[in-house]
Structure 1
Amino acid sequence: MRLNNRNKAGFYNFISTTILLIFVLGCGAFFMELFKFDFLGRGTTALLIIVPSIFGLIFYLRGRQIFEYDSDGEALNFKNRNVLFYEKAISDEFPKYKLISYEIIDALIFRKLYINILSKKNKIITLKYDVSYLSKKELKDLKFSLSKVIKENKENKREL
């Protein structure tokens, strides 16, 4: 099964650019209000910087926007990247039989996917991906596919 939200990259780029533009314009309006004009008063002037900062912080905390998953073949492929290039993209590929479990943490602002895999030295490695920007249907499909792989792994271990 293949799952990705690359088609929404333009929208996320637009949102991030808009937040940045509103922040810059808010800073400019703040300093214009502070030194030249006095329409808003001292207390509400800070809102010109605070409100766009909060939106930018929420956008940043939600994590990487683009998530790609591929379970076709004998390997699982995970890719997670930003539309902006200030963070390194995460890309992992490993055989299906190494997948032990997964967990999706759903917080108020963000969603994270934790994958537990078995290493060559029989140690558990936890991989973390941001899935905040996946729709409910895409998240349901991801859970179904990962559960299917884990179920097949358990059946294969019983046969051995």
Structure 2
Amino acid sequence: MRLNNKTKAGYFNFLGTLVIMLFIFGVGAFLLEYFVYDYFGWAQWLFLIIPIGCITLFYARGRQIFEYDSDGEALNFKNRNVVLFLDKHLSDEFPKYKLLKYDVVNIIILKRLYVSISSKKSHNITLRYDISYLTKKELNDLKFSLSKVIKNNKERKREPSS
């Protein structure tokens, strides 16, 4: 199964630009209000607080683009930001039989996918992906696909080797 939200990249780019413009206009309005007009009193700080809150919310939710591919014998995960210089690109590929478990953490404004895989040195490695910008349907499809892979892995372990 393939899942990605690359088609929404333009939308996320627009939102990022809008949030940055809101911040620039907010700083400008604050400086004008603080040094020139002084009409709002203490409320002039809202010109800074609201845009900073919007920027924090947008970028704290994590990387916007998520790609998942379970076709074939490997699982591919890619997670990246729309603004390329902000954060480094995550890309992981591993065989399906290494998948041990997954967990989706859903906090009020953000969602994370934690994937545990086995390694050669008998350690478990946990990989983290930002999935805050996936729709509910995309998230359910991802959970279904990962559950199916885990179920197949458990069945293979139970089968006696002949």
Q: TM-score range by the shorter chain?
A: over 0.9
Using the TM superposition, give the Cα deviation of residue 39 of structure 1 relative to its aligned residue in structure 2, in angstroms: 2.4
2:37 partner SS = coil
2:2 maps to which residue? 2
For normalisation by structure 2, the TM-score amounts to 0.96
**For each residue in 1:49-93, what CA deviation from the matched residue of structure 2 results, as whole angstroms up to 9, or x when unmatched?**
100110110111110000000000000000000001210010000
Using the TM superposition, give the Cα deviation of residue 34 of structure 1 relative to its aligned residue in structure 2, in angstroms: 1.0
1:109 partner SS = coil
1:151 maps to which residue? 151
Equivalent-residue separation in structure 2 for 1:124 and 1:38 (angstroms): 59
2:48 maps to which residue? 49
Equivalent-residue separation in structure 2 for 1:68 and 1:8 (angstroms): 12
Equivalent-residue separation in structure 1 for 2:58 and 2:35 (angstroms): 31
**For each residue in 1:5-36, what CA deviation from the matched residue of structure 2 results, as whole angstroms up to 9, or x when unmatched?**
00001101101110100101110111111111
Using the TM superposition, give the Cα deviation of residue 37 of structure 1 relative to its aligned residue in structure 2, in angstroms: 1.3
2:24 partner SS = helix
- Whichever residue aligns with residue 61 of structure 1, its letter is A
2:23 maps to which residue? 23
1:126 partner SS = strand
For normalisation by structure 1, the TM-score amounts to 0.97
Equivalent-residue separation in structure 2 for 1:121 and 1:34 (angstroms): 60
- Whether 1:113 and 2:113 are equivalent positions in the alignment is yes
**Percent identity between the aligned chains?**
59
What RMSD over aligned residues (CA atoms) do the two structures have, in Å? 0.7
1:58 maps to which residue? 57
2:33 partner SS = helix
2:14 partner SS = helix
1:131 maps to which residue? 131
Task: Tell me how many residue pairs correspond in the alignment.
Answer: 159
- Whichever residue aligns with residue 19 of structure 1, its letter is V
Equivalent-residue separation in structure 1 for 2:3 and 2:122 (angstroms): 29
